[in-house]
């Protein structure tokens, strides 16, 4: 496949599972696959194990191209498989070009060992270096390092695989929802391109400064929520970790001490100190909720962005949030501009109509006065 070949417009699969069958096929992968299918998530799972030295098949390459997410399960013997490493290079290439989102699962291995390639991973790569082309091994190393730099799920932190499977499936389901819905609802907003352009200036994705907090205010709930989801979908790939809290108001109603907000963030994203994080808190209606959220995003790294949506403009003022985008202001301006354009056209047509009628009357009068 040429590196310039774009993926299809409509992906065939939601999830592509990359794993070492020897380690995980009969346990973790089988449970995860069953749960994803149960949730109607279209999942590709290859049931064949290639022998060492063989290239990945065109069918597998197409499946990667036609997927929206790739769940890569790094198990103790994953890096020992040249097939898995070839597959990973292809996955990371598509991730780098923004064609799919990668979710790493470190199954029985320490993410630091994978990223630094020491311990058992180092032993496996020494064997590869004796048998394989130097450039090829370098590409495998780079792909593995890039993968381990993405925030993922580590099984060493879990005591029950079944609960972990549920959490991963829920995370994927949420990601699918937040990337599907904005395409339908966000694009129906009045002047969506102008919204994005104006918001980009506030978000400043290239900033290396401390956490940037941006408010999105509108009286109507549908407009600000749709815009927040649309923005989340379009910029989340620029962050090491990201989380969309659908309804902060509802979450906080369950616990007046706001501890559920903290649990919800931890559940959806494995945040490490000083990471670049995107957090969208939708439907905030109390200052206490912002205070509870602040406890979490205070450890976010430089360039992190927190987006708060609310219908209470005074709430943003009280919290000291100075970067505020008013959705309805632009909507009003767009409508006013449209009326102005329409009004101008109506005036032009009215003048043309009068001129035409006047010309016809003049011609009739002249016709009557001319001699036969």
Sequence-distant (6+) residues with CB within 8 A of 300 are 211, 271, 274, 275, 276, 277, 279, 306
Q: Tell me whether strands 323-326 and 277-281 are parallel, antiparallel or unpaired.
A: unpaired
Residue 87 annotated among the catalytic residues of the structure:
yes
> Catalytic: which of 35, 59, 66, 87?
87
Q: Which of 264, 270, 272 is nearest to 289 (CA)?
A: 264
DSSP SS3 for 15: strand
194 CB-contact burial (10 Å; exposed 0-12 / middle 13-18 / buried 19+):
middle
Sequence-distant (6+) residues with CB within 8 A of 131 are none
Residue corresponding to tokens 């370098």:
138
Cβ–Cβ < 8 Å for 147, 92? yes
In this structure, what is the dihedral angle of CA atoms 49, 52, 56, 59, given to the nearest 10 degrees? -30
C-alpha span between 149 and 272 (Å, rounded): 11
Strand ordering across the sheet containing 43-44: 43-44, 13-18, 67-74, 101-106, 153-154
DSSP letter at 363 equals: H
Residues labelled as active-site residues: 87
């Amino acid at each position: 496949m040429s590196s310039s070949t774009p993926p299809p417009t409509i992906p065939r699969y939601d999830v592509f599972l990359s794993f070492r069958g020897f380690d995980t096929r009969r346990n973790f992968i089988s449970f995860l696959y069953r749960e994803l299918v149960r949730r109607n998530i279209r999942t590709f799972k290859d049931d064949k194990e290639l022998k060492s030295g063989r290239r990945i098949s065109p069918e597998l390459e197409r499946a990667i191209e036609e997927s929206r997410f790739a769940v890569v399960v790094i198990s103790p013997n994953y890096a020992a498989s040249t097939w898995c490493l070839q597959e990973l290079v292809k996955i990371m290439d598509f991730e780098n070009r923004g064609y799919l989102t990668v979710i790493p699962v470190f199954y029985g291995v320490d993410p630091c060992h994978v990223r630094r390639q020491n311990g058992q991973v180092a032993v496996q790569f020494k064997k590869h270096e004796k048998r394989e082309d130097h450039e090829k091994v370098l590409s495998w190393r780079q792909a593995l390092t890039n993968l381990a730099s993405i925030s993922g799920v580590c099984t060493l932190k879990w005591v029950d695989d079944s609960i972990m499977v549920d959490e991963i499936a829920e995370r994927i389901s949420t990601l699918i929802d937040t990337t599907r819905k904005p395409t339908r609802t966000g694009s129906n907003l009045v002047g969506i391109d102008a919204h994005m352009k104006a918001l980009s200036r506030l978000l400043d994705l290239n900033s290396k400064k401390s956490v940037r907090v941006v408010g999105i205010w509108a009286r109507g709930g549908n407009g600000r929520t749709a815009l927040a989801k649309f923005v989340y979908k379009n910029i989340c790939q620029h962050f090491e970790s990201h989380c969309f809290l659908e309804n902060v108001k509802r979450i906080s109603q369950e616990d007046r001490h706001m501890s559920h907000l903290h649990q919800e963030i931890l559940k959806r994203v494995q945040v490490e100190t000083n990471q670049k994080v995107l957090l969208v808190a939708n439907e905030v209606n109390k200052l206490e909720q912002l205070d509870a959220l602040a406890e979490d995003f205070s450890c976010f790294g430089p360039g992190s962005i927190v987006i708060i949506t609310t219908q209470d403009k005074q709430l943003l003022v009280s919290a000291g949030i100075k970067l505020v985008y008013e959705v309805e202001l632009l909507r009003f301006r767009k409508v006013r501009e449209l009326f102005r354009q329409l009004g101008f056209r109506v005036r032009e047509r009215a003048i043309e109509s009068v001129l035409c009628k006047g010309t016809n009357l003049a011609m009739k009068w002249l016709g009557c006065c001319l001699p036969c």
